[in-house]
Amino acid sequence: MIRFVTSNEGKFVEVQRMMQFEGLQVEQFNYAYPEIQTGSLEAVLGYAAPFLDEALKGDYMADDSGIFISALQGFPGVYSAYANDTLRCEGILRLMEGVRDRTAEFQTVVLVSINADKHYFKSSCRGTIAEKKRGRHGFGYDPIFIPQGHKRTFAQMSLDEKNAVSHRGRAFREVIRYLRSRRLA
C-alpha cells in the first residue's frame, strides 16, 4: 500500500484504476501542500517534498500536472489548477477564439518517495485544444483536449482509453515499474 497525495478525486480515480489493474493498492491522502510559483512542475514538487515528508512520515507519491498551450505561450502550465478554478474550460476557449495554432501539451511529474529516497517520473501527451467542450468523462481540461492521433477529447474516452494515452497514464506506468523493481508491489 502506498499513499497518493491529492485532493483531486478524478486524479485519484485514474491512478487507483491503473494501480488496481496491476494488483497494487493505493490510498488517497488528501493534503494541500504548499505550491511555489515557478516555471517547473518538478520544482513545485521538490519544494513540497519536505512538507509531505513531515505530514506523511512514510512512503508516498504525488503528482503535479499542467496543460501548456502553444498559442498562449505555455499558459496555463504550472498554474493549470488555479486557471481551472477561475477560468474553467470556458475561459480557455474564450482565450483561444480565432486562434489557428491550437497545439497543446499535457505534462505530468510524479514524485515517489520510498524510505525518504526521492524519484521523479515525467511524461507528456501532445494534442490540440478543441473548438468547444466535448464529452462527460474525466475532469479539468479533459473536455477540451484532443490527444494527438485521436479525434475525441479525453472527456469522450473511457477511463481505460484515457489512461492508455494520457500524460498521467504514461508516467504512472513508469512508477509501477519502479515500485515493482523495489519489490514494493
**pLDDT by residue (tens digit) across 47-87?**
999 999 999 999 999 999 999 999 999 999 999 999 999 99
Structural domains of the chain, count: 1
CATH number at residue 43: 3.90.950.10
Model confidence, pTM = 0.93
Give the catalytic positions in this structure. Answer: 64
What range does the domain containing 159 cover? 2-181
* Beta-carbon contacts of residue 6 (< 8 Å; ≥ 6 apart): 12, 15, 28, 29, 30, 62, 63
Residue 72's identity, in one-letter code, is L
pLDDT digits (tens, 9 = 90+) for 2-30: 999 999 999 999 999 999 988 889 999 99
